[in-house]
Structure 1
Amino acid sequence: MTLFDLVAPAISFLSVVIILVLIRRQRLGIFHSLWWLFAVFSMLFIGFFPTVVDRIGWFLGVHYPPVLPILLALCFLFVKVLTMDIERTQQEIKIRIIAQKMAAYEAELYSLKAEQSVEKAEIKIHEN
Structure 2
Amino acid sequence: MASLQVTTGLLGVGLAIVILYLIRRDHLYLMHGLFWVAVAIAAAALGAWHGLIDQLAHWSGIQYPPALLLLLACIVLFVKALHADMVNTRIERDVRRLNQRLAMLEADADATRHAPSLPTSSSSESLP
Q: Pick the TM interval, shorter chain.
A: 0.7 to 0.9
Letter matched to residue 77 of structure 2: L
Structure 2 segments unaligned to the other structure (5+ residues): 120-128
Is the 2:57–2:64 contact (alpha carbons within 8 Å) kept by the matching residues of 1?
yes
Q: TM-score, normalised by structure 1?
A: 0.85
Give the 5 Å matches for 1:97-116. Answer: 97-115=97-115
Provide the secondary structure at the position in 2 that maps to 1:62.
coil
| Alpha-carbon distance in 2 for matches of 1:62, 1:2 | 23
> Which shifted more, 67-76 or 94-103?
67-76
Aligned to 2:60: 60
| Alpha-carbon distance in 2 for matches of 1:89, 1:50 | 41
Provide the secondary structure at the position in 1 that maps to 2:117.
helix
Structure 1 segments unaligned to the other structure (5+ residues): 123-128
| Alpha-carbon distance in 1 for matches of 2:79, 2:47 | 23
| Alpha-carbon distance in 1 for matches of 2:53, 2:18 | 26
The list of structure 1 runs, each at least 4 consecutive aligned residues, that deviate by more than 6 angstroms after superposition, is none
Aligned to 1:119: 117
Identity of aligned residues (%): 29
CA RMSD of aligned residues (A): 1.9
| Alpha-carbon distance in 2 for matches of 1:22, 1:46 | 23
Aligned to 1:45: 45
Provide the secondary structure at the position in 1 that maps to 2:65.
coil
Q: Deviations over 1:24-83 (max 9, x none)?
A: 112222211111011111111111224011112112221101111211111111111111
Provide the secondary structure at the position in 1 that maps to 2:12.
helix
- C-alpha displacement of 1:95: 0.6
> Which shifted more, 78-87 or 47-56?
47-56
Q: TM-score, normalised by structure 2?
A: 0.85
Provide the secondary structure at the position in 2 that maps to 1:66.
helix
Give the 5 Å matches for 1:54-93. Answer: 54-93=54-93
